[in-house]
């Protein structure tokens, strides 16, 4: 089994950090962190559990029997209501504490405390429980995971990922100093390379934007990729789909891309799904195990699913697309009047959602549902929402689709280590490159205070009875 991963929202990490580091006498402090566990097996990828924090309960001073700058002792009886909550809500119990002295490693006292807690938890909830330990010290985080069946054995976490306005990764793996990534390390530092290596990234769509995105991610060092696309390759796709040849016509695009990346020889593993995101439970389960997802699809229903998954699964979403307008010139030949590439960044606590950005709306979603029922249905306005006047749903121009993929992957780089300097008129969460006028622009923020996604946050870390609470996707898999 590969190392597990731990995710905290930015607000959770800030609250936790401020509490742990604020003891008036500089003593250790502790808090309980409750997690959802995503542990679906994804074919071709190593098993790697993902623990997403859903609630934080700081220790009350009355719970502490003894503390100092080097240790903390507490009464178990005060934690029993939280054990019960874990059982009732199918949550994983986590224990977070700090080392005020400069020691970023678990101590023998920590070992004893964790085994004591896990034994009490297993006595109450059964031996199949999991336990997450988080340690804060030296301005960093480390984590490890235990299981009730083997309480003395701990598995170090691959990383602790903090998803706020950017992505902060505290990775614990051995640095990868492969010559392949030396120039990238020279630009951004060795930790940046290691952070990319620790991520599991999903790419929804393996066409004109998805195929260069996957290629760039693999060459950048991302070690685990989930690629989803239901379509088969057509001859008209060959002008822009990376890794495809004439002999691949008729094959599934995601499978073609998987074979292409594996042949890089960069130890990147790829799981491919020849399915639609919104109607395949196995694909949704794979999505829930990702840290970051790229939306490279022209399917409005799929984009709606991604928009919801950002909040329910605490994902970072980079959604890319193209649009514009075609007319004719004086000789009657097609002429690009306006053509742009769009980059949208949506994080659980940052950035307007895809609805508020105008990327998706209910009319387009319902039109896509109608097209599935009747593929011959025509709707001039919806059919040309990408390239007006072109008579096609997708522009399909290789240099433009590739340029958007480049900007999308560079956006992930910026989330991990901010290098961009945005002028005031550009939004960090939504901008466009006008390929005709060669200008960067941003649409005005909608600022919809009633939006259930990005403002009211009704879906943030919401529990699910069905996958993403969509009955068509079947009952959600429950892991504890």
Residue 332, pLDDT above cutoff 90: no
Q: For a pLDDT cut of 70, what percent of the chain falls above it?
A: 96
Using alpha carbons, select from 172, 27, 156, 154 the residue that is nearest to residue 99: 27
Beta-ladder partners of 324: 339, 387
| Predicted local distance difference test score (pLDDT) of residue 395 | 53
Quote the DSSP letter at residue 166: S
**Helix axis angle, 398-416 relative to 210-220, nearest 10°?**
40
Q: What is the DSSP string of 339-354?
A: EEEEEEEEBTTBS--T
pLDDT digits (tens, 9 = 90+) for 87-140: 999 999 999 999 998 889 999 999 999 999 999 999 999 999 999 999 999 999
Which has more confidence, 58 or 330? 58
| Predicted local distance difference test score (pLDDT) of residue 390 | 45
Is the distance from CB of 64 to CB of 76 less than 8 angstroms?
no
| Predicted local distance difference test score (pLDDT) of residue 378 | 59
Q: What backbone phi and psi angles, to 5 degrees, belong to 229?
A: -165, 130
Q: Does domain 5-171 correspond to CATH entry 3.40.50.2300?
A: no
In terms of C-beta distances under 8 Å and separation of at least 24 residues, what long-range contacts does 379-387 make, across chains too? 385/323, 386/298, 386/321, 386/322, 386/323, 386/324, 387/322, 387/323, 387/324, 387/325, 387/326, 387/339
Is the distance from CB of 468 to CB of 312 less than 8 angstroms?
yes
Burial class (CB in 10 A: 0-12, 13-18, 19+), 447: exposed
Is the distance from CB of 34 to CB of 57 less than 8 angstroms?
yes
Q: What residue ranges of the chain are covered by domains with CATH 3.40.140.10?
A: 5-171
Distance CA 84, CA 90 (A): 10
pTM for the whole structure: 0.95
Beta-ladder partners of 9: 163
Using alpha carbons, select from 361, 342, 360, 340 the residue that is nearest to residue 427: 342
| Predicted local distance difference test score (pLDDT) of residue 1 | 53
Distance CA 276, CA 47 (A): 23
Question: Hey, which CATH number is domain 179-473, 3.40.50.720, 3.40.50.11540, 2.40.37.20, 3.40.50.1470?
Answer: 3.40.50.720
Q: Kindly state the tokens that stand for 314.
A: 């605490």
Is the distance from CB of 315 to CB of 293 less than 8 angstroms?
yes
**Mean pLDDT of the region 223-240:** 93
The stretches of 166-209 forming alpha helices (DSSP H) are 182-188, 190-198
Q: Kindly state the tokens that stand for 351.
A: 């950035």
Using alpha carbons, select from 226, 294, 219 the residue that is nearest to residue 263: 219
| Predicted local distance difference test score (pLDDT) of residue 373 | 86
Distance CA 199, CA 296 (A): 18
Q: What residue ranges of the chain are covered by domains with CATH 3.40.50.720?
A: 179-473
For the chain, the residue count is 480
Among the listed ranges 69-73, 87-91, 293-297, which one has the minimum average pLDDT value? 69-73
Which has more confidence, 18 or 388? 18
Q: pLDDT tier at 175 (50, 70, 90 boundaries)?
A: confident
Give the count of beta carbons closer than 10 Å to the beta carbon of residue 23.
Answer: 16
pLDDT digits (tens, 9 = 90+) for 299-331: 999 999 999 999 999 999 999 999 888 888 888
Residue 159, pLDDT above cutoff 80: yes
Q: pLDDT tier at 281 (50, 70, 90 boundaries)?
A: very high
**Mean pLDDT of the region 212-223:** 96
Distance CA 46, CA 23 (A): 40
| Predicted local distance difference test score (pLDDT) of residue 392 | 46
């Amino acid at each position: 089994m590969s190392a597990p991963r731990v995710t905290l929202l930015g607000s959770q990490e800030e609250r936790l950090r401020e509490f742990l580091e604020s003891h008036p006498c500089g003593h250790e402090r502790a808090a309980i962190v409750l997690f959802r566990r995503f542990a679906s097996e994804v074919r071709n990828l190593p098993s790697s559990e993902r623990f997403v924090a859903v609630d934080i309960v700081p220790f009350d001073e009355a719970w502490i029997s003894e503390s100092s700058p080097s240790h903390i002792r507490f009464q178990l009886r005060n934690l029993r209501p939280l054990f019960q909550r874990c059982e009732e809500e199918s949550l994983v119990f986590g224990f977070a504490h700090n080392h005020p002295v400069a020691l970023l490693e678990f101590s023998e006292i920590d070992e004893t405390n964790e085994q004591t807690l896990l034994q009490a938890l297993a006595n109450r909830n059964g031996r199949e429980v999991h336990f997450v330990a988080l340690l804060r010290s030296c301005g960093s985080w480390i984590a490890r995971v235990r299981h009730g069946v083997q309480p003395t054995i701990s598995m170090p976490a691959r990383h602790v990922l903090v998803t706020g306005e950017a992505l902060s990764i505290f990775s614990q793996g051995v640095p990868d100093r492969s010559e392949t990534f030396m120039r990238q390390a020279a630009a951004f530092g060795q930790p940046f390379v290691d952070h990319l290596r620790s991520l599991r990234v999903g790419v929804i769509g393996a066409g004109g934007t998805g195929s260069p995105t996957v290629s760039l991610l693999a060459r950048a060092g991302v070690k685990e990729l989930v690629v989803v696309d239901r379509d088969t390759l057509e001859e008209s796709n060959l002008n822009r789909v990376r890794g495809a040849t004439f002999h691949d016509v008729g094959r599934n695009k995601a499978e073609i891309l998987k074979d292409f990346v594996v042949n890089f020889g960069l130890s990147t593993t790829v799981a491919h799904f020849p399915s639609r995101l919104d109607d395949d439970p196995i694909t949704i389960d794979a999505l829930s195990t990702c840290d970051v997802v790229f939306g490279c699809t022209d399917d409005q229903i799929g984009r709606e699913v991604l928009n919801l998954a950002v909040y329910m699964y605490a994902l970072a979403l980079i959604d890319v697309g193209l649009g514009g307008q075609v007319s004719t010139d004086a000789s009657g030949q097609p002429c690009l009047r306006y053509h742009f590439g769009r980059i949208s960044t949506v994080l659980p606590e940052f950035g307007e959602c895809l609805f508020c950005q105008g990327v998706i709306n209910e009319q387009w979603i319902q039109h896509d549902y109608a097209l599935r029922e009747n593929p011959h249905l025509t709707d001039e306005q919806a059919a040309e929402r990408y390239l007006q006047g072109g008579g096609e749903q997708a522009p399909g121009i290789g240099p433009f689709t590739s340029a958007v993929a480049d900007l999308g992957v560079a956006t992930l780089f910026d989330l991990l280590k901010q290098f961009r300097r945005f002028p005031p008129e550009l939004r960090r969460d939504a901008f466009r490159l006008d390929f005709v006028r060669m200008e960067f622009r941003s649409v005005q923020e909608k600022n919809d205070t009633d939006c259930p996604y990005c403002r009211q946050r009704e879906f943030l870390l919401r529990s699910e009875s069905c996958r993403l609470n969509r009955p068509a996707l079947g009952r959600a898999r429950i892991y504890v």
